């Protein structure tokens, strides 16, 4: 049984990825480009925002304005405030799971805090929040999960990762941690050693509680 549980945030704890993708599609409409929010979710879950934007700039042969990211963050914050919900079954799973818990996310720290507060999940993690923007490491680099484990005083083999993105799953396995893939979209993972599941109600039994 793992002593430390490291949760991804977007798509794992909070059902935010479609809202974030809607925000991105809204921003690209200003450039006369139509993006499909559902497709964006599938393609870019867990990615670094600058990497997403660089690829979309290249694919659409455009140059985004300097204020793009700030305007995008503002739209997403408003969407979250109005519509964000916790992932189905996550509250019951968190209540059932023993062990210290942390959030390890590619999103900015303020976005993590905002999302957790809206969804009523902050109490499960307190200050155990690790953002790639604070650490300077993005998934699939395992360093983000290794940093979180070390900061909380645990060895990698005593930690479990719960992530819904292929880049996060890869990071967890390469960090030497038991990794659970919240595979809502029935994707194929080529990463050896991953434990897939499709509903949060399955997680406590899988982890061993």
What letter would DSSP give residue 87? P
Residue 34 has a pLDDT of 97
Residue 45 has a pLDDT of 87
Residue 59 has a pLDDT of 97
- Residue with token string 């690790």: 130
Residue 75 has a pLDDT of 96
Mean pLDDT of 92-116: 96
Average pLDDT over the chain, rounded to an integer: 95
Nearest-angstrom CA–CA distance, 45 and 62 = 22
Residue 87 has a pLDDT of 98
pLDDT above 80: residue 113? yes
What letter would DSSP give residue 106? S
- What are the tens digits of pLDDT across the range 148-203? 999 999 999 999 999 999 999 999 999 999 999 999 888 888 888 899 999 999 99
Assess whether the region 4-15+85-207 and the region 17-83 belong to the same CATH fold: no
pLDDT above 60: residue 63? yes
- Residue with token string 């200003």: 30
Confidence of residue 56 (pLDDT cuts 50, 70, 90): very high
Nearest-angstrom CA–CA distance, 4 and 26 = 38
- What are the tens digits of pLDDT across the range 16-48? 999 999 999 999 999 999 999 999 999 998 899
pTM of the full predicted structure? 0.90
Confidence of residue 50 (pLDDT cuts 50, 70, 90): very high
Domain ranges of the chain: 4-15+85-207, 17-83
Pinpoint the alpha helices (H) of the chain. Answer: 17-29, 37-44, 49-60, 68-83, 90-96, 109-119, 132-135, 143-152, 166-174, 203-207
Top-level class of domain 4-15+85-207: alpha beta
Topology classification of domain 17-83: DNA polymerase; domain 1 (1.10.150)
Residue 1 has a pLDDT of 58
Q: Which one, of 193, 174, 194, lies nearest residue 183 by Cα? A: 194
DSSP characters over 190-207: --TTEEEES-GGGHHHHH
CB 173 within 8 A of CB 144: no
141 given a catalytic annotation: no
Among 8, 10, 15, 141, the one annotated catalytic? 8
**Rg from Cα positions in the chain:** 17
Mean pLDDT of 103-131: 96
């Amino acid at each position: 049984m793992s002593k430390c549980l490291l949760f991804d945030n977007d798509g794992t704890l909070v059902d935010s990825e479609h809202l974030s993708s809607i925000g991105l599609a809204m921003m690209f409409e200003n450039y006369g480009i139509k993006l499909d929010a559902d497709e964006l979710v599938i393609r870019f879950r867990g990615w670094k925002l600058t990497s997403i934007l660089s690829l979309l700039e290249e694919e659409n042969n455009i140059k985004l304005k300097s204020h793009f990211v700030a305007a995008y963050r503002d739209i997403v914050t408003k969407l979250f405030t109005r519509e964000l919900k916790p992932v189905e079954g996550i509250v019951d799973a968190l209540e059932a799971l023993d062990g210290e818990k942390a959030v390890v996310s590619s999103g900015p720290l303020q976005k993590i805090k905002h999302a957790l507060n809206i969804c009523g999940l902050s109490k499960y993690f307190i200050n155990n929040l690790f953002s790639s923007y604070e650490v300077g490491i993005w998934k699939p680099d395992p360093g983000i999960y290794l940093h979180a484990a070390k900061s909380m005083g645990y060895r990698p083999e005593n930690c479990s990762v719960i992530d819904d993105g292929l880049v996060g799953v890869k990071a967890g396995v390469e960090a030497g941690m038991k990794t659970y893939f919240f595979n809502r979209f029935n994707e194929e993972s080529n990463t050896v050693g991953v434990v897939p599941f499709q509903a949060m109600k399955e997680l406590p039994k899988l982890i061993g509680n």
